[in-house]
Structure 1
Amino acid sequence: MRPTPRAGSPRTASRRRRLGRLAPPVAVFAAAALLASTAPASAAAVTPGAPYTGMGNCPLAAPAMTNPENLQVGCLVSVTNAGKFTLGSTVVPFNSPIKLQFGFYWDKSAPEVSFPDGSTANQYTVVPPTNGPLMSAPMVQITIPGIQNFLPGITSVFAQVELAGPVTKFTPLATGEPYPVFQLPIKLHLYNALFGSHCYVGSDSAPLILKPTTGITAPPAPASPMTGDPGTLGYTMDPNGHNALVISETNAAMVDNTFATPGANGCGLLGSLDQIIDWTMNLPAAPGKNSVSFQQTNASFVLDTDIADLTASLQDSAAH
Structure 2
Amino acid sequence: MAAASLFHRLKHRAAAAAAAAFALVAVAASPAAASTPQPSGPYAGMGTCPVASPQLQNPNNAVVGCVVATIGGGGFTVGSTKVNFSSPMTVKFGMYWAADGPTVTFPDETTAALFSTATPTDGTELSASPLNVPIPGLANFWPGVTSAIVLIEPAGPVTAFAPLSAGENYPLFKLPIKLHLLNAFLGLNCYVGSTSSPIVLSPTAGTTSPPPPNRPATGDPGSIAITADPNGYGASVIDFAGATLVDNALSVPGAHGCGILDSADWIVNSLFGVPSAPGHNTVTLTGVGAAIAVDTSVSDLTTAINATRK
Q: Which has the larger radius of gyration?
A: 2
Residue number in structure 1 paired with 2:75: 84
Residue number in structure 2 paired with 1:189: 180
Moved more, 96-105 or 310-319: 310-319
Identity %: 47
Residue number in structure 1 paired with 2:147: 156
SS in 2 for 1:68: coil
- Larger helix fraction of residues: 2
Q: Is the 8 A contact 1:219 1:257 kept in 2?
A: yes
CA distances 1:51-101 after superposition (whole Å, capped 9, x unpaired): 111111111111111111111100011111111011222223211110111
Give 1:232-243 correspondences, 5 Å limit: 232-243=223-234
Q: Is the 8 A contact 2:135 2:146 kept in 1?
A: no
Residue number in structure 2 paired with 1:94: 85
* 2:305 partner letter: L
Q: 2:281 aligns with which of 290, 302, 305?
A: 290
Q: 2:127 aligns with which of 119, 122, 136?
A: 136
Confirm whether residue 117 of structure 1 aligns to residue 102 of structure 2.
Answer: no
* 1:205 partner letter: S
Moved more, 131-140 or 168-177: 131-140
Q: Is the 8 A contact 1:48 1:56 kept in 2?
A: yes
Residue number in structure 1 paired with 2:137: 146
Residue number in structure 2 paired with 1:107: 98
Q: Is the 8 A contact 2:213 2:280 kept in 1?
A: no
SS in 2 for 1:275: helix
Give 1:163-202 correspondences, 5 Å limit: 163-202=154-193
Residue number in structure 1 paired with 2:61: 70
Unaligned runs of 5+ in 2: 1-23
Residue number in structure 2 paired with 1:306: 297
Q: Is the 8 A contact 1:199 1:266 kept in 2?
A: yes
Q: Is the 8 A contact 1:58 1:103 kept in 2?
A: yes
Residue number in structure 1 paired with 2:117: 126
CA distances 1:186-205 after superposition (whole Å, capped 9, x unpaired): 11111110001111111111
TM-score (norm 1): 0.83
Q: Is the 8 A contact 2:220 2:245 kept in 1?
A: yes
Task: Count how many residue pairs are aligned between Structure 1 and Structure 2.
Answer: 281
Unaligned runs of 5+ in 1: 1-32
Q: Is the 8 A contact 1:35 1:137 kept in 2?
A: no
Residue number in structure 2 paired with 1:30: none
- Give the whole-Å Cα distance in 2 for the aligned partners of 1:135 and 1:180: 18
